[in-house]
Amino acid sequence: MNTSHTRALILLALTAVLWSSGGVFIKLVEWDALSIAGVRSAIAALILGIVAPPRTWSPLRLTRYEFGGAVACMLTMVMFVAATKLTTAANAILLQYTAPVHVALFGAWFLGERTTRLDWMTIALVFVGMILFFVESLSAASMAGNLLAIASGMSFGWLVLFMRKNVQERTHEAPSSRSDGVFWGNVLTAIICLPFAAQSLASGFTPSLQSWIGIALLGVFQLGISYALYSRVISHVSALEAILIPIIEPLLSPLWVALFAGELPGKWTIIGGMVVIGAVTMRSLLVMRHERLLRQNLN
């Protein structure tokens, strides 16, 4: 393994660790979900604009798929923060990890990619896992949080679909242009949600120092630097590595929250999470194995 590849793997793992910090920081910030989403995305957009500039600085020059990706990104940002506030961080991140299922469901129609029997088996297992999450969600708030987490998984799946469709339509563009949806999604989130933060501050609410530090860490590291790293290293690792290493995120996120916020996931959440992660990971491994065998046969 060469030095550049090893470095890319380390940076990809660091990216997943940074992503996993979202749950605990959101839990520690004493502010409403829309305000957190707005300030976090404003900081992240600034970081991305400096470290990983978008293809275009004019939203009028975005393709329809880049614009769709920006909207999907905005919905993901807002709903994930709201879900983390309403339910456990474990539920929020593990249910969002159902995004590959939505890609499989809509990929055939949107991308012209056939949905296989393996895809349907994976979807069935993921739905079983999702049902287990609701066993312990007896309160209205937890139920609403779980539903928002599922919706954030769907919108994140659509972000991936729009990014992939944009690549299909603009094959002459550099790979870095695929991150435009994330940059403009954060800009859109800031535009929509910052007024709620301003209204909250104008009404007399003053976030604590802990809250300001938490939001700064969310914007700079959990979103900004993490996506800048991801856009730089993704072309230097294999598809299998790009799928498996980010699994660190849903595994670590509940751990950080348990250690620093004292929130422990329930038994059914752990079982449901294992089913969801196991189903998505197994599908990825089987698909990679099938593609490798096809290449070997062709050669």
| pLDDT value for 137 | 59
Amino acid making up residue 270:
I
With a pLDDT cut of 70, the percent of the chain lying above it is 90
pTM confidence score: 0.85
- Rounded to an integer, the average pLDDT of 80-100 is 89
Confidence bin at 203 (pLDDT 50/70/90): very high
Contact (CB, 8 A) for 193 and 37: yes
- Domain range enclosing 215: 3-298
| pLDDT value for 7 | 86
Alpha-carbon gap, residue 63 to 279, rounded angstroms: 34
- Rounded to an integer, the average pLDDT of 116-131 is 84
Alpha-carbon gap, residue 33 to 92, rounded angstroms: 13
Please write the tens of the pLDDT for every residue from 6-32. 888 889 899 999 999 999 999 999 999
- Tokens representing 152 are 């954030």
Structural domain tally of the chain? Answer: 1
With a pLDDT cut of 90, the percent of the chain lying above it is 38
Please write the tens of the pLDDT for every residue from 249-267. 888 898 899 888 888 888 8
Contact (CB, 8 A) for 38 and 197: yes
Tokens 């920006």 correspond to 70
Q: 60-98 burial string, b = 16+ CB within 10 Å, else e?
A: eebbebbbbbbbbbbbbbbbbbbbbbbbbbbbbbbbbbb
Please write the tens of the pLDDT for every residue from 136-189. 655 667 889 999 999 999 999 898 888 878 767 765 554 444 568 899 999 999
| pLDDT value for 6 | 81
| pLDDT value for 175 | 47
